[in-house]
Amino acid sequence: MSEPTSAAPQSTVDATAAPKTAMVLAAGYGKRMRPITDETPKPMVEVMGRPMIDRTLDRLADAGVERVVVNSHHLADKLESHLAARSGPPAIEISREADTPLDTGAGVLNALDKLGEEHFYVLNGDIFWLDGCVPALIRLAQHWAPEKMDALVLLSATAEAIGYAGPGDFQMDIQGRVRRRQEFEVAPFCFAGVQILHRRLFDYAPEGSFSLNLLFDQAEGSERLFGLRHDGLWFHIGTPHDIETAEEVLYDLGFRTNRPEERVS
| Burial class of residue 110 (count of CB atoms within 10 Å of its CB; 0-12, 13-18, 19+) | middle
What is the per-residue burial (b if ≥16 Cβ within 10 Å, else e) of 163-197?
bbeeebbbbbeeebbbebbeeeeebbbbbbbbbbb
Examine the pLDDT at 20 and tell me if it is beyond 70.
yes
Examine the pLDDT at 13 and tell me if it is beyond 90.
no
Indicate the Cα dihedral angle 198, 200, 201, 206, nearest 10°.
140
Across the range 212-240, mean pLDDT stands at 94
> Got the DSSP string for 88-140?
-SSEEEEEE--SS---HHHHHHHTHHHH-SSEEEEEETT-EEEB-SS-HHHHH
pLDDT in tens, 91-112: 999 999 988 888 999 999 999 9
Residue 184 DSSP SS3: coil
In Å, how far from its chain's centre is CA 243? 17
Q: Give the model's pLDDT for residue 131.
A: 92
Q: How is domain 21-252 classified at the CATH fold level?
A: Spore Coat Polysaccharide Biosynthesis Protein SpsA; Chain A (3.90.550)
User: Is this prediction's pTM over 0.85?
Assistant: yes
Across the range 192-220, mean pLDDT stands at 94
pLDDT in tens, 56-76: 999 999 999 999 999 999 999
| 225, 159 Cβ separation under 8 angstroms | no
pLDDT in tens, 126-173: 899 999 999 999 999 999 999 999 999 999 999 999 989 889 989 999
| 43, 24 Cβ separation under 8 angstroms | yes
Q: Give the model's pLDDT for residue 184.
A: 86
Strands 151-157 and 225-229: parallel
Amino acid at 31: K
| 129, 136 Cβ separation under 8 angstroms | yes
φ and ψ of 94, to 5 deg: -95, 135
